[in-house]
């Protein structure tokens, strides 16, 4: 146990595409959802410890007219079917040029998830595969961890304070820090 409430990990939030599930750009087809290796085991372990889980996902394909909000909801339902229930979902339907406060790297979805969970941002971590995920976490006052994939830019890896090889490694890093 940490010495203060804020140092205790209360929730782990995850980027969806490229972190929890294999990235299929603008996926609107639940049949194409494929979990990343180890994702289910990591989530099951967090849930068993009583740590809340959530998903924070930019879905600009909605604003671009490439997929509908219903498509995204169907894909998210399939993610839960395969990986178990999440305590909170945050989806940004906007495009980059919309200038919203929710689209990562903005902190809006992290703030909203923490509000819904009733926890301080310092009690949350966000694990993702690109720099925008880490920046959103840090801007919100949460811990950001990068789990690079082949599409992650070298500069994003260099900038990230916490980098792990996989989801299990990311959670281990969090536990070591607490």
- Return the active site residues: 15, 17
Dihedral sign from CA coordinates of 134, 146, 83, 43? negative
Rounded Cα–Cα distance for residues 177 and 120 (Å): 17
Dihedral sign from CA coordinates of 104, 132, 21, 151? positive
> H helices within the chain, ranges in order?
39-48, 69-83, 108-117, 131-140, 154-159, 167-177
Asked if 51 contacts 10 with a C-beta cutoff of 8 angstroms, the reply is yes
Evaluate the omega torsion of the peptide bond into residue 105 and state whether it is cis, within 30 degrees of 0.
yes
Q: Which residue has the tokens 């950001």?
A: 144
Q: Which residue has the tokens 């909801």?
A: 73
Rounded Cα–Cα distance for residues 83 and 100 (Å): 29
């Amino acid at each position: 146990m940490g010495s203060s409430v804020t140092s205790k990990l209360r929730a782990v939030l995850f980027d969806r595409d490229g972190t929890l599930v294999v990235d299929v750009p603008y996926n609107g087809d639940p049949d194409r959802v494929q979990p990343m290796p180890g994702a289910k085991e990591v989530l099951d372990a967090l849930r068993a410890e009583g740590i809340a889980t959530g998903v924070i996902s930019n879905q600009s394909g909605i604003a671009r007219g490439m997929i509908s909000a219903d498509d995204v909801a169907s894909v998210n339902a399939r993610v839960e079917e395969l990986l178990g229930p999440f305590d909170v979902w945050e989806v940004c339907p906007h495009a980059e040029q919309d200038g919203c406060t929710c689209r990562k790297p903005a902190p809006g979805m992290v703030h909203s998830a923490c509000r819904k969970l009733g926890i301080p941002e310092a009690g949350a971590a966000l694990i993702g595969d690109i720099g925008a995920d880490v920046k959103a976490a840090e801007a919100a006052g949460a811990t950001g961890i990068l789990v690079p994939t082949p599409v992650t830019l070298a500069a994003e890896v260099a900038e990230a304070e916490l980098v792990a090889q996989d989801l299990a490694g990311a959670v281990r890093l969090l536990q070591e820090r607490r």
